[in-house]
Amino acid sequence: MDFGAHLPLMDFGGNPYSLEHLVAYTQTAARLGFSALSTNDHMVFSVPWLDGPTALAAVIGHSGTMTLATTVSLPVIRGPVPLAKTLVAIDRLSQGRLVVAVGPGSSQKDFDSVGIDFAERWARLDESIGVLRALWQADATPFVGRFYSTAGISLDPHPFRKAGPAIWLGSWGSDAGLRRTARLADGWLASAYNTTPALFAEGWSQLQGLLPSQGKHPGSFPNALATMWFYLTDDRAEADKVLRERVAPTIHRPEQTLRERLPIGPAELFAEKLSAFARAGVQRVFIWPVANEVHQLELFWQTVRPEIAP
């Protein structure tokens, strides 16, 4: 198991939202040895949310050799052609270090903000993946679907590598989501606050069984776990306060569920949780501190990572 650091885009309270803060966070992640740096996506949300692709582009020059990832981006909301153009810029400027995970979007407010029917999100997502592949590959056959068409569109410049960035699918692990991942994607991105080690292991086993029929090898198909919000403290009162006042009102999940699924508390708790996910088959975890972000990255690297059991 290796680790990615999620840029602190979401305001859990006190986020400075400055370029200096993003750069310091990125440089810390690169210095410590994180394998990847990621952003995700919302148009509108219950708290301020810095634009993901813009933030990722802003720190490319400070990201060292880390993989850059979207966890996830929203082609249906942004439009697959504008998103393809934006992500190609990030891919080229990073010399091909981009991995693109996409999802339909789980917030109806995002869809309302751009005038798209929320009920169409899955059908549009399927087509969007076809659009991205067609636009990113110079010799690809144009994609023509119900909602989108790339006929007559040449998106120049093309990605750094001829095949374009790998496209992963974000899925919480439903049967339909896993089938879609096997059919359309180059990797599976699961959601930390919507799963457990047991549920992930079950979904991973199911997905590996689906891959051969799509001409994909289970042994080389990658996965990751994103949105692992955390806060390290040995002070139980502080942990309860962070969960109750910062995280639960923002994520809109029951406090008890979040208490069980998110590592807010001592380092041993986080190490035990990550060890369980490692045994379940998780290959990479994108962690996201909810406060004191730079310091919390360092705490994670010093106190949690060395204690994770293989």
Question: CB within 8 A of 92, min separation 6: which ones?
Answer: 157, 159, 160
| Cross-strand bridge partners of residue 98 | 68
- Whether the upstream peptide bond of residue 290 has omega within 30° of 0, thus cis, is no
Determine the Cα–Cα distance for residues 176 and 183; give it in Å rounded to an integer. 11
- Whether the upstream peptide bond of residue 222 has omega within 30° of 0, thus cis, is no
User: Among residues 102, 125, 130, 121, which one has the least CA distance to residue 38?
Assistant: 102
Q: What are the structural domain ranges in the chain?
A: 2-307
Determine the Cα–Cα distance for residues 20 and 231; give it in Å rounded to an integer. 22
Q: Does the domain at residues 2-307 carry the CATH identifier 1.10.3720.10?
A: no
Grouping H, G, I as helix, E, B as strand and the rest as coil, residue 130 is helix
Beta strands in the chain (DSSP E): 2-6, 36-39, 67-73, 98-102, 166-170, 188-191, 223-232, 264-265, 284-289
Residue 180 has φ and ψ, to the nearest 5°, of -65, -40
Residue pair 225/286 in contact (Cβ under 8 Å)? The answer is: yes
Name the H helices within 63-211.
75-78, 80-93, 108-114, 121-136, 175-184, 197-210
Determine the Cα–Cα distance for residues 80 and 145; give it in Å rounded to an integer. 13
The tokens of 170 are what? Answer: 């974000």
Determine the Cα–Cα distance for residues 308 and 279; give it in Å rounded to an integer. 10
> Which secondary-structure segment (H or E) carries 29?
helix 19-32
The tokens of 46 are what? Answer: 């219950």
Question: CB within 8 A of 218, min separation 6: which ones?
Answer: 208, 209, 211, 212
**Verdict on whether the full-model pTM lies above 0.85:** yes
pLDDT, block means (10 residues), the chain with 310 residues:
96 81 97 97 85 97 98 96 97 98 91 94 97 93 97 94 95 95 98 94 98 97 96 95 87 83 95 97 97 96 93
